[in-house]
Amino acid sequence: MTVAVRFIDVDADGDREVVVENPYLRAVLRHPEHLGAEYYKRRWTWGGRLQSLVYKPTDREFFLPQMIDLEDIAPFGLPDELFAHFPLTGERQLKMGVGIVSPAGVAPLPWTWGQEQVGEETVVAFRQEVDDLEGYSFVYEKRYRFLSDAAWFALDIVWENHGSEVLASDWGIHTFHDAGPLDRPAWLVAPKRAWTSSGRTRLRTVLKEAAPLFPAPRLEERVFDRLRWDLEGAPWWYATGPGDGEEFFLLNARFEPYWGLHFAGYGAYTPQGISHIEVPPGDGAVWGIDVTLGTGGKDFVRAGQEGGLTLERLGPHTIAAGVHLARQGSGILSVHVLDQAGAVQGHAEKTGDAAPGKPLVLELPLPDTGDFATAEITYQEAGHILLHTRELVPLQGQRPTAHLPFAGGGTRVLVASHHEGENPESDGEHLHACGLQTGFAVDWAGPGPRGPQDLKGCAALCLVGEAWPLEQADALRTWIAAGGGLLLCAPFGALAEALGKILPLQPAGPLQRTEPALGLQLATPHFTVQRLMLEPDAQVRVTWWAPTTARADALVPLRFTGVGRHPALGLAQYGKGRIAVLASRPAWGAHRGNVVWDGWGQYYRAFFAGLMGWLAGIWRD
């Protein structure tokens, strides 16, 4: 087996691309020849941009090679960026990796590319070298490394300073993965420092949970948030894969990002890592990433340079540890299980082979008592430890978790939004997405009121504002009393007044905007909110809210942060049915992109889909 490298125009756009293939993957790398700033724009480095990455055994494309471009930045594939603009004379600036930027446009600086063999690795390098551009002399090189028999590649970034002044810049990568359809979105494991609870124990740890994304409901929109990848010195990594397949993409960073951006939009989603690089005169810096592709892995807990470890819960008392390698390997997988006091309760090891799509897996029982256990997992080959981790395993109910203990199962939910605020359709679209992604059959026909004729076969009704005819308020009460479930969201007006005392929260003022944004905190315990990541562990940025008072017999499981800790969510029974009132819009900000949950849309979906499950009677304590 060999690595094949071709230099051809694969997409007939006028520039030839470097195509690298082995039996497991096909990578398409851009080399700027004739296309200029009109194509590449001025943000990301031009040479060596990974446009396409296909896992050949299943023909799975992991990136979006082409995307809509509403920001004029040419988003696609896997770009990298040096953020700094270095001053030149006049109104010009040097953007390394791109060229000379001025009000007149971009004058590109040339790139070269070459291929070399370094041991068993085939290296494809893209290089921009500048000698004394008004005192700036540098090399910026992107070196892709491939093996002939591995579902793997590495990217090394080399930045050399041949000038006389320190070069300093933030540097970051995006990966524009395909978000997938709304009803089968891609999943993501993005480790993040957080508090987790199990039983009566609350611990500060790194949360690693494979959960579906919350893609933006509209192709032209984004749901985004900045966040800090706080892993306290551990290398940054993430794992992801499609919602309609078994493939995975596992990225291991050889740098420590200090902040990032996670957003879903334009049909893509991207976990972005940003680091700060400083290179003194005469010095150089090298950093990069390793990427493993494969199938059959999802619950990753550790990434390495040529693979990763998974830890799957098979039931209340059994775990399965797995090693997923980018190439053929033979080694020993070992697992120790410790109880809450640190005593070893079980140990097992397994000697065997692993290969792409063929993990080495070992099952082990968990202790019967305690709030949590610890699993220590090690994989070694020829006496060398390649992968190791210690993971907390909850023995009681885990909090937080973006997973719901039910599926919609096609249960019909009606969604309607009608009010005078900005973008009333965004409220309905986001509720529609939350239900659809959880398996509900959601009836959403666009902004405007719906009526009793639309309720046939519905188990739950989600209304925003005045989305129900006032003359049919009695019919709505009758439907709820007979067993229906109503979610009523602000803004409140004549409909809320007509429903009156059956609502658990009574409006006490108009919908209002607040800066800074409010968060959500737990109040009276209720299972619909006990699994969520809330303040102070996560910021839930609510910028539109309505003051309310809670009915004496209402359950208030969530309150807004801030002065007064006003009720945010009220729950109540009415006859055989259930009512939930949310004192905010589902689209919490006037701009749709403000619908965020500390960068984790999974909890946004779990919140609203969980309410739908409770209202429909399919989620019970």
Is residue 591 pLDDT above 70, yes or no? no
Q: Which pLDDT score is estimated for 594?
A: 60
Higher pLDDT among residues 259 and 418, named by residue: 418
Range in 169-173, 215-219, 605-609 the model is least confident about: 215-219
DSSP 40: H
Q: Which residues pair with 549 in a beta bridge?
A: 506
Is residue 411 pLDDT above 90, yes or no? yes
What gap in Å lies between CA 316 and CA 301, rounded to an integer?
A: 19
Percent of the chain whose pLDDT exceeds 70: 97
Q: Which pLDDT score is estimated for 60?
A: 97
Peptide bond into 491 cis (omega under 30): yes
Q: Which pLDDT score is estimated for 561?
A: 93
**Nearest CA to 28 among 39, 15, 17?**
17
| Residue appearing with tokens 């996560």 | 538
What gap in Å lies between CA 561 and CA 542, rounded to an integer?
A: 10
Range in 89-93, 152-156, 260-264, 581-585 the model is least confident about: 260-264
**Nearest CA to 460 among 615, 319, 341?**
615
Give the DSSP H or E segment for 307.
Answer: strand 307-315
Q: Which pLDDT score is estimated for 593?
A: 61
Using CA atoms, how far residue 403 sits from 314, 406, 497, 520, 604, in Å, is: 15, 9, 35, 19, 11
Q: Which residues fall within 8 angstroms of residue 141, CB to CB, at 6 or more apart? A: 125, 126, 127, 128, 157, 158, 159, 160
Q: Is the dihedral of CA 382, 383, 387, 390 positive or negative?
A: positive
Sorting pLDDT into bands at 50, 70 and 90, what band is 602? confident
Output the 3-class SS for 155-206: EEEEEEECCCCCEEEEEEECCCEECCCCCCCCEEECCEEEEEEECCEEEEEE
Neighbour-count burial for 487-497, b at 16+ CB within 10 Å, e otherwise = bbbbbbbebbe
What gap in Å lies between CA 460 and CA 441, rounded to an integer?
A: 11
User: Token pair of 246, please?
Assistant: 């078994």
User: 616 in the Ramachandran plot: left (φ > 0), alpha (ψ -120 to 50) or beta?
Assistant: alpha
User: 337 in the Ramachandran plot: left (φ > 0), alpha (ψ -120 to 50) or beta?
Assistant: beta
Q: Which pLDDT tens digit goes with each residue over 383-406? A: 999 999 999 999 998 899 999 999
pLDDT (mean) for 78-94: 96
Dihedral angle, C-alpha 423, 429, 431, 436, nearest 10 °: 180
Q: Which pLDDT score is estimated for 332?
A: 98
Cα R_g (the chain), whole angstroms = 27
DSSP 98: T
Using CA atoms, how far residue 396 sits from 209, 367, 379, in Å, is: 16, 11, 28
Q: Which pLDDT tens digit goes with each residue over 298-354? A: 999 999 999 999 999 998 899 999 999 999 999 999 999 999 999 999 999 999 999
Average pLDDT of every residue of the chain: 93
Is residue 618 pLDDT above 60, yes or no? yes
Q: Which pLDDT tens digit goes with each residue over 478-524? A: 999 999 999 999 999 999 999 999 999 999 999 998 888 899 999 99
User: Token pair of 253, please?
Assistant: 């960073």
Quick check: 364 and 318 in contact, CB under 8 A? yes
Is residue 592 pLDDT above 60, yes or no? no
Is residue 599 pLDDT above 80, yes or no? no
Quick check: 293 and 146 in contact, CB under 8 A? no
What gap in Å lies between CA 249 and CA 295, rounded to an integer?
A: 9
Range in 268-272, 460-464, 482-486 the model is least confident about: 268-272
Q: Which pLDDT tens digit goes with each residue over 176-227? A: 999 998 889 999 998 888 889 999 999 988 889 999 988 878 888 777 666 6
Q: Which pLDDT score is estimated for 153?
A: 98
Give the DSSP H or E segment for 481.
Answer: helix 473-481
Sorting pLDDT into bands at 50, 70 and 90, what band is 617? very high
Q: Which pLDDT score is estimated for 227?
A: 64
Sorting pLDDT into bands at 50, 70 and 90, what band is 232? low
Quick check: 341 and 314 in contact, CB under 8 A? no
Sorting pLDDT into bands at 50, 70 and 90, what band is 259? confident
Return contacts of 235-239, CB within 8 angstroms, 24+ apart.
235/303, 236/191, 236/273, 237/191, 237/302, 237/303, 237/308, 238/188, 238/189, 238/190, 238/191, 238/271, 238/303, 239/188, 239/189, 239/210, 239/297, 239/298, 239/300, 239/303, 239/308
Q: Which pLDDT score is estimated for 558?
A: 97
Q: Which pLDDT score is estimated for 596?
A: 66
Quick check: 218 and 204 in contact, CB under 8 A? no
Percent of the chain whose pLDDT exceeds 90: 81
Sorting pLDDT into bands at 50, 70 and 90, what band is 231? low
**Nearest CA to 278 among 166, 151, 134?**
166
For residue 430, give the amino acid letter. H
Q: What count of other Cβ atoms lies within 10 Å of the Cβ of residue 556?
A: 21
Q: Is the dihedral of CA 27, 33, 35, 37 positive or negative?
A: positive
What gap in Å lies between CA 44 and CA 53, rounded to an integer?
A: 18
Question: What's the burial of 370, exposed, middle or buried (CB within 10 Å: 0-12/13-18/19+)?
Answer: middle
pLDDT (mean) for 36-58: 96
Phi and psi dihedrals of 93, rounded to 5?
-140, 150
Residues of the chain with CATH 3.40.50.880: 412-615
Q: Which residues pair with 285 in a beta bridge?
A: 159
pLDDT (mean) for 2-10: 96
CA atoms within 13 A on the CB side of 267: 14
For residue 305, give the amino acid letter. Q
Q: For the domain with range 412-615, which CATH number is right: 3.40.50.880, 3.40.50.920, 3.40.50.1000, 1.10.8.420?
A: 3.40.50.880
Quick check: 211 and 184 in contact, CB under 8 A? no
Q: What count of other Cβ atoms lies within 10 Å of the Cβ of residue 618?
A: 17
Sorting pLDDT into bands at 50, 70 and 90, what band is 151? very high
The model's pTM is: 0.94
Q: Which pLDDT score is estimated for 135?
A: 95
| Residue appearing with tokens 């990434």 | 303
Q: What count of other Cβ atoms lies within 10 Å of the Cβ of residue 8?
A: 10
**Nearest CA to 550 among 594, 580, 513, 593?**
580
Output the 3-class SS for 369-384: CCCEEEEEEEEEECCE
Is residue 577 pLDDT above 70, yes or no? yes
Strand, helix or coil at 458? Answer: strand
What gap in Å lies between CA 467 and CA 522, rounded to an integer?
A: 29
Q: Which pLDDT tens digit goes with each residue over 540-576? A: 888 889 999 999 999 999 999 987 899 999 999 999 9
